[in-house]
Amino acid sequence: MPRELAVFGILIPTLLPIFLASLLLQGALDWVLGHAGLYRRAWHPALVRLCLLVCIFSALTLVLYS
């Protein structure tokens, strides 16, 4: 994978689209987990959500950069 993507002559780090994709994925997962009621069992729901986002983002990055 290239480190940077050229869009109309502007270099954009590839991490940016990956981050957007992980936001979307996390949104979908969030919806499912919210309906399943997982967050109500967590001590710190916001932290759980943040960690999920970090996991998804890191996983995507690892897959693409390794």
Partner 1 sequence: MTPDPAPYTHQHSKAWLAGAAGLVRGWTGTEGERWIFVAKTLLAAFTALWLAFRLGLDSPNTAMTTTFILALPSSGMVLEKAFYRLLGTLVGCGSALLLTALFPQQAPLLFLGLALWIAACTCGAAMYRNQQSYSFVLAGYTAAMIAIPALDHPAGAFALAVTRVVEVSLGVICATVVHDALFPRHQSAQVMRTVQARYLRFLAFCREVLEHKAPPAETELAHLRFAADIAALESGRAAAFFEAAHARAHTRQLHAFNSAFMAALTTFYTLHRLAHRLRQDPASPVPALIEPPLARLAAALAQGEALQGAALAGLQTELATAIAAARAQACVSVRVDADDGKPASPHRIDFETAIELLERFARQFGDFAASYHGLAQRKRTQASEPQSYTPKTPPAIVLASGFRAATALLTVAGVWYWMAWPYAVNAVLMTSIFCALASSSPRPTAMIKQVMTGFLIAWPLSFFTEYFLVMPASGYPMLVLAAAPLFAAGAYLTTDPKRAGVGIGMTLFSAQVIAPLNLAHYDVAAFLNTTLAMPLGVALAWAIFAVVLPEHTMGQKDHVAAALWREALAASTAPQHAWRPWSALRHRFDNRVRDLLSQLNAASGPAPGEDARAVVRQGLTLLELGHSVLELRALIAESGRSEARRALQDCVSALAAYFRSPTRERCGTAVGAVLRAGAAVRAALPETAAPERAARLRTALTDLHSIYTCLLDQLLTSTSASPGARHAS
Q: Which residues contact partner 1 by CB under 8 A?
A: 8-10, 12, 16, 30-31, 34-35, 37, 39-40, 42, 44-50
User: In the complex, what is the shortest distance from the CB of residue 63 to partner 1, in angstroms, rounded to a whole number?
Assistant: 22
User: In the complex, what is the shortest distance from the CB of residue 36 to partner 1, in angstroms, rounded to a whole number?
Assistant: 10
User: In the complex, what is the shortest distance from the CB of residue 35 to partner 1, in angstroms, rounded to a whole number?
Assistant: 6
Q: Which helix (H) or strand (E) holds 11?
A: strand 10-13
Characterize 28-48 residue by residue with b for buried, 16 or more Cβ atoms within 10 angstroms of its Cβ, and e for exposed: eebeebeeeeeeeeeeeeeeb
